[in-house]
Amino acid sequence: MFKALDEVKLETVSMDFIFALPEQRIDDLKSDIDMAFANGANHIAIYPFIDFSFTDSAIPAMRKKEKRKLLDEITLYCESKGYHRDSIWTFSNNGNAKYSSMTRDNFLGFGCSATTLLKDQFKINTFSVDEYEKRIAENKLPTSLTIRFTERQRMIYYLFWTAYSTKISSHDFQAFFKKPLKNAYGLELWLAKIFGFVKVENGVYKMTMKGAFYYHYYENYYTLSYIDKMWSIMRKEAFPNEIHF
């Protein structure tokens, strides 16, 4: 893999790691981080271990206190090496290398289980390779499910995933929705500031390390209560009529 990266120059080379595994320590992750950047990566993603119900995993979950300590240690180590934090779990050795659909306003997804985010819709393709191929052969979209957002739902979705980048710009929010951020979520943002989750600089709400951990904590809850259920069903049904949560 490293030889191939030397031969073909790519704009972004991102390597994924998992933290919060049993007995894992910061020295293990430091070694992985150094190895990645020394061998062609200009971006890394260090995701927490998530125990999806359909995996039947026997790996025990790391305790909240230990997980927070490890995430803070990862962040401080990357910052000490001069790496740029561009989301909760991603770092780059320059400010330009990015690789995440979650920090984009809109995106198109191609392939089985890929997702697409439009201005007022979210779509997910079928998980079935056979059914995907049939739809493509028939010149039809392989969409399995579609969520059509109300404006409020779209705002929540925007804020939730924009926060993944560790900051929310009131200017960008207003440009996207044509409404001031404070008018829509002034109370919530004030509380976030009071509790030490964010700091405000020139209209940009930037997460503190405390805020980043609790974002991770609730993103994990969202994943297990929403994505886990959706993926479990779609692994069995190519085109479910609907899913209730």
Asked whether residue 139 carries a pLDDT value surpassing 90, the answer given is yes
Mean pLDDT within 217-243: 86
49-98 pLDDT per residue, tens: 887 777 777 888 888 889 889 989 999 999 999 998 888 888 999 877 76
176-190 pLDDT per residue, tens: 999 999 999 999 999
Mean pLDDT within 15-25: 91
- Residues 108 and 216 sit within 8 Å (Cβ to Cβ): no
Q: What is the DSSP letter of 107?
A: B
Distance, CA of 211 to CA of 195 (rounded, Å): 9
CA dihedral 200, 68, 14, 91 (to 10 degrees): 40
Q: What is the DSSP letter of 134?
A: H
Distance, CA of 38 to CA of 55 (rounded, Å): 33
Nearest to 235 by CA among 55, 37, 87: 55
161-212 pLDDT per residue, tens: 888 888 999 999 999 999 999 999 999 999 999 999 999 999 999 999 999 8
